[in-house]
Amino acid sequence: MNFRPRAKEEPEINLIPFIDVLLVILIFLMLTTTYSKFTELQLTLPVADAEQQRDHPKEVIVAVAADGRYAVNKTGLEGKSVDVLAAALRDAAKAGPGSIVIISADATAPHQSVVTVMEAARRVGLTQITFATQSSARAGKS
């Protein structure tokens, strides 16, 4: 009887045929794939007239001049304090807390003047605030 330990051979995994098969599959997929251009969709977007749909009674327009003066709905205010502005906003907000405050500030108006309008709106309970801008085409004409 032969009881000598046999030398165990380490099993080897040959990766070359596996890589060859993967390359063939990759080439097949590259040749058969079709590429669609989704950026060239022809769309017809809906048309809406924004002026007709706007709810003007809910809007409170606050104009801020370059020197920090205020006008609420085209009515000038005497003072520049938060309390004066808050009282004017309370009177102008016909829809109550659902009113939208539109801040139309001059480009050179002080930052503090715009912050004062936002603080006055917060005190009155008006949480919907937006800023009015003009397009660059209109700005160049004036």
Cα distance between residue 128 and residue 137, in whole Å = 28
Give kind and range of the element (H or E) at residue 113.
helix 111-124
Mean pLDDT of the chain: 80
Strand, coil or helix: 49: coil
- Average pLDDT score over residue span 71-75: 88
Strand order in the sheet with 100-105: 75-76, 70-72, 59-64, 100-105, 128-131
**For 15-24, 72-81, 82-91, 129-138, which range has the lowest pLDDT when averaged over its residues?**
129-138
Q: Is the model's pTM score more than 0.85? A: no
Which class would CATH give 54-132?
A: alpha beta
Is the pLDDT at 81 greater than 60? The verdict is yes
Choice between 117 and 53, residue whose per-residue pLDDT is larger: 117
Cα distance between residue 28 and residue 13, in whole Å = 25
Of the pLDDT bands very low, low, confident and very high (cuts 50, 70, 90), residue 43 is low
